[in-house]
Amino acid sequence: MSKDLDTVFAALADPTRRAILAMLLEDDMAVTDVAEPFEMSLAAISKHLVILTKAGLISQEKRGRVKWCKLEPDALRAASVWMQGFGQFEPVNLDAFERFLETELPSSDKA
C-alpha cells in the first residue's frame, strides 16, 4: 500500500497534473482537449497523463480515433484514509477538492 500511496502523492505533486485533474472533474475529455490550455507539447501532456493513469487517478479509453481521459476519484480513497489516520483531515469530498483546486491553481481561460 505504501508504494501505491507514493505513486498517488507523486502524481499529485505536479501542478500541471493537478490542473488536469481539476479539468476532469467537469467531464471526460479527449486528450487533445486536455492539452489545449497548456503551453506544452502534446507529447509532454501525454507523459503527465501516463503518470496520472499509472497512479490510478485517471483512466484512458480509445473511442474511435480519439483517446479519452476520465477521472477516477476512488483512487484518492487510500490517500484520504491515510491522511485521516492523523486525525486532522476530513474524508475527501470531491466538491471541496474541486473548490480547493480552483483556489490553488492559476485560472485558465475557459472560453
Name the class of domain 2-84+92-100: mainly alpha
Name the DSSP class of 36: T
Which carries the bigger pLDDT value, residue 100 or residue 33?
Answer: 33
Give me the mean pLDDT over the 36-45 stretch: 95
* Structural domain spans, the chain: 2-84+92-100
Hey, what's the cell of 60?
Answer: 484512458
The confidence score (pLDDT) of residue 62 equals 94
Give me the mean pLDDT over the 80-100 stretch: 72
For residue 67, the surrounding DSSP H or E stretch is: strand 66-71
Q: What is the pTM of this model?
A: 0.73
Question: Of the segments 1-5, 15-19, 85-89, which one has the largest average pLDDT value?
Answer: 15-19
Hey, what's the cell of 70?
Answer: 476520465
The confidence score (pLDDT) of residue 82 equals 79
Asked if residues 24 and 72 have their Cβ atoms less than 8 Å apart, the reply is: no
Give me the mean pLDDT over the 84-105 stretch: 71
Hey, what's the cell of 41?
Answer: 507539447
Q: Could you give the angle at the alpha carbon of 2 between the alpha carbons of 17 and 100, nearest 5°? A: 35
Residue with cell 490517500: 79
- Say how far apart CA 56 and CA 33 lie, in whole Å: 20
